Structure 1
């Protein structure tokens, strides 16, 4: 066989193939977290392409490459090529993030699929928060406080609501009140839970069972007194909280501590760099809790801080499910790489 083809899936076809099914995405992410812990994945560090410094990227943007390999019955490699341009929604009417995912067979190396990764990336980011809620939140959590009315805020709230069935109140703060109000109305209609916009981060986060921050902030704004006893803090972005938030936490949990340290942009890594945190202060990677090597929440009063950094294999696991569904249902376009290779 010399002809080689692959399928291309647009964003609409990704959605038709289950791209916005949060419960399935949480299951995908949980499975691949455990596989990575057992050595059944390869997770290279991401490559970052940026103009200027890390501090300037909120203006200049960046593009990241996240390769990975998933073994066992999957036996696939691939990469997510993802752009993050913070000004897009405000200047160009475009999403902040856009991405492509390529899946390759690891028997031949031949590409199996190329697909929009924008929905997948957002969904798997929310899904890892859902996994955290499953193992680290009080099961009867009722209130959620959020800062950041963007796409990640949307998918995190989708995941929280999918896992925690007793949520009765959500409050959201954003620098732009109109954006927060639009988010609140849309998510209330979608999730059938009361969501309201408030005029400060303190109001949004104080005395909540679950708190979430997902902003491009370069200076910390979350203060320790706002974080209630018994809460789970989903710290989804960079340097968003004061060091005291971690110092008072009963448990600090991450997805991949070596990557958190390597990227050196999130609060735990910055604390480590400043000598305010050590490796021994990290209670666990979430996979250790999933498989029972370490305990998750042990009592109702614990403050637990969860910091995911994200891994390319999470995107690949979700993309592989979508690829198989698309193949079964006949979605997507078949594109030819070559009819006959010019050279062998």
Structure 2
């Protein structure tokens, strides 16, 4: 038996977004039912390199499949400037839960982008207005691409407004999608006025104000992944129907972490975890909902679910690069 090596192209080719969205939704449901194990994300701080490592293991049991794996990922903000490398890189080890055999080693960076977009799509499906046709994106980096690709799978998106301080990133985004959508560049306010908004920035001072949003806007807050990061004004968060992916992670390092630590937000301000909505225990958007916010920090179960989709597709198509990793002798 061989291990499958899947680089970024292989991961992208074998991850059809509808299947990834379904698998991530299944993972949220499994977590809510208690059919998943996901130890807290652990960190190794590397102050001398202005970076860190994070380990994210998980096992989940969906209704028709189970899967296990671990992602080893970094955040090194100086990489692009100093080494011409991505800020975030990841490696996923996907294992057979029954035998523990490492079925695949795959690019975790592409995997992360895919599952993050899929998570936003799951939340958007439950929280955005049914007829949402416009999507605003603040931050035109690599994460923005899968936000559009995933959300467009579950809402009839026609118009996309993207905002970024970097003209080159804006130009690349527009060029990629202008044949499929009405894509324009604009201010943060222009993007925020859309039916759905995804914020994908690393800021620590809020850049989206309540006055910028439409009365029904659903916001996917993606950028905050560390303490002190904060994209949305407190006025938005105190008014919105807030849905989180995981209480421990979001209060520590998600969009709500700053107002939570200051006491501006409490348990009473959290509408639900996304898994509660997926399984039907708590309603998503109702007639009383105005603006809503999904605080997405990214969970290991999402990585494992996406890796499951990638591995199954790659195995069926007989692609990727098989190699001998494990000495399988039993003597």
TM over 0.5: yes
Single out whichever of 44-53 and 151-160 deviates more from structure 2. 44-53
CA deviation map 1:15-48 (0-9, x unaligned): 33x22x2111111100111011101110111112
The equivalent residue for 2:9 is 12
1:291, 1:126 → 2: CA distance?
20
Question: Structure 1 residues 174, 328: closer, same or farther in 2, change over 3 A?
Answer: same
1:125, 1:149 → 2: CA distance?
15
Q: Give 1:146-185 correspondences, 5 Å limit.
A: 146-165=137-156, 167-185=157-175
Report the alpha carbon displacement of residue 210 of structure 1 after superposing the two structures with TM.
Answer: 1.0
Q: Give 1:132-151 correspondences, 5 Å limit.
A: 132-151=123-142
Report the alpha carbon displacement of residue 297 of structure 1 after superposing the two structures with TM.
Answer: 0.8
Alignment pair present for 1:131 and 2:122: yes
The equivalent residue for 2:214 is 228
SS at match of 1:230: coil
1:121, 1:106 → 2: CA distance?
21
The equivalent residue for 1:117 is 108
Alignment pair present for 1:324 and 2:312: yes
Aligned residues: 325
CA deviation map 1:218-274 (0-9, x unaligned): 22221121122111011112111121111121x11111122212xx22331221211
The answer for unaligned runs of 5 or more in structure 2 is 225-229
The answer for unaligned runs of 5 or more in structure 1 is 54-58
Counterpart selection for 1:216 from 202, 212, 220: 202
Report the alpha carbon displacement of residue 68 of structure 1 after superposing the two structures with TM.
Answer: 0.5
Report the alpha carbon displacement of residue 307 of structure 1 after superposing the two structures with TM.
Answer: 0.7
The equivalent residue for 1:284 is 272
1:76, 1:296 → 2: CA distance?
27
Report the alpha carbon displacement of residue 300 of structure 1 after superposing the two structures with TM.
Answer: 7.5
Question: Structure 1 residues 185, 105: closer, same or farther in 2, change over 3 A?
Answer: same
Tell me if structure 2 keeps the 8 A contact 1:43–1:68.
Answer: yes
Tell me if structure 1 keeps the 8 A contact 2:20–2:309.
Answer: no
Question: Structure 1 residues 340, 319: closer, same or farther in 2, change over 3 A?
Answer: closer
SS at match of 2:47: coil
The equivalent residue for 2:191 is 204
1:227, 1:87 → 2: CA distance?
33
What TM-score, normalized by structure 2, do the two folds share? 0.91
Alignment pair present for 1:82 and 2:68: no
What TM-score, normalized by structure 1, do the two folds share? 0.88
Report the alpha carbon displacement of residue 217 of structure 1 after superposing the two structures with TM.
Answer: 0.9
Quote the RMSD (CA, aligned, Å): 2.1
